[in-house]
């Protein structure tokens, strides 16, 4: 049985305030053990719509928990999605104020930018590639609002799949010019290699993550609009960061992107 509208609205306020005030909260399922995945998305969409009502724009969407490394790291066994608000975007090489986040981590990703709308059930890799304008390397800064970065699937979905900030950089290239499955990456933390991986770590192919999100959105009668940025999920485990840190991603054929923390 789904949570009542009143409870969903209450939880949406709690989750968004945790994000805006950078204060950790208890996992939602502790107080409401009956919460399910649909409730989580209901809460996420309530918060999204409140941001739009306040004048923010939704510039894209993120796929979450799309690699085995990420699932193992956080203890959740199913992918999810979250939205990207305009103020999440950070320029390549810029500095993020760590006091506005709780316990940030950075993960390496491949970003897709669409030139056609994608919507409806049955979306597949071919449809995604046909609708893709270009791909770029990206760093996503995830920041679960839950204490000790611990959550279950409904709770993380309600928390916008831990979405916080993202950085695009490097080269924009047509997906057809690249072998996205074998595309190699290295992420460095303060100049030292932290993790290595390839695009296939993301559901077998990064475009599969986009298709997954489109199919999940179709259950709510929504899709992804042309011009949207889609972050396809961490290729490797995420690295925890603190003030003074730098993280850089180098992606085969796509150049590099980096971000600082202070």
How far apart are alpha carbons 236 and 175 in whole angstroms? 21
Cα angle 168, 88, 93 (rounded to 5 degrees) comes to: 40
pLDDT tens for each residue of 11-63: 999 999 999 999 999 999 999 999 999 999 999 999 999 999 999 999 999 99
Please give the Cα distance from 193 to 183 (Å, whole number): 17
Closest CA to 249 of 173, 175, 197, 178: 197
pTM of the model: 0.94
* Upper half-sphere CA count for residue 204 (Cβ side, 13 Å): 5
Question: So what's the pLDDT on residue 73?
Answer: 65
Q: Which two tokens stand for residue 91?
A: 């320029």
How does 168-180 read in b/e, with b if 16+ C-beta sit within 10 Å?
A: bbbeebebeebeb
Residue 111 pLDDT more than 60? yes
Q: What is the pLDDT of residue 52?
A: 98
């Amino acid at each position: 049985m789904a949570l009542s509208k009143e409870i969903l609205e209450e939880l949406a306020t709690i989750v968004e305030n945790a994000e805006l005030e950078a204060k950790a909260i208890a996992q939602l399922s502790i107080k409401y053990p009956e919460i399910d995945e649909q409730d989580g998305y209901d809460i996420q969409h309530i918060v999204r719509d409140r941001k739009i009502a306040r004048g923010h724009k939704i510039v894209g969407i993120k796929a979450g928990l799309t690699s085995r490394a990420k699932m193992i790291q956080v203890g959740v066994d199913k992918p999810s999605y979250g939205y990207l608000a305009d103020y999440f975007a950070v320029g390549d090489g810029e500095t993020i104020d760590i006091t506005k986040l709780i316990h940030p981590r950075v993960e390496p990703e491949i970003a897709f930018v669409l030139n056609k709308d994608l919507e409806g059930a049955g979306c597949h890799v071919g449809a995604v590639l046909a609708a893709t304008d270009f791909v770029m390397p990206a760093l996503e800064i995830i920041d679960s609002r839950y204490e000790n970065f611990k959550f279950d699937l409904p709770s993380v979905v309600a928390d916008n799949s831990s979405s916080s900030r993202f950085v695009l950089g490097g080269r924009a290239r047509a997906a057809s010019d690249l072998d996205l499955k074998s595309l190699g990456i290295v992420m460095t933390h303060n100049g030292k290699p932290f993790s290595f991986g390839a695009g296939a770590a993301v559901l077998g192919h990064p475009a599969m993550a986009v298709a997954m999100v489109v199919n999940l959105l179709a259950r709510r009668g929504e899709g992804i609009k042309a011009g949207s940025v889609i972050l396809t999920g961490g290729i490797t485990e995420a690295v925890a960061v603190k003030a003074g840190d730098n993280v850089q991603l180098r992606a085969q054929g796509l150049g590099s992107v980096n971000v600082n923390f202070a």
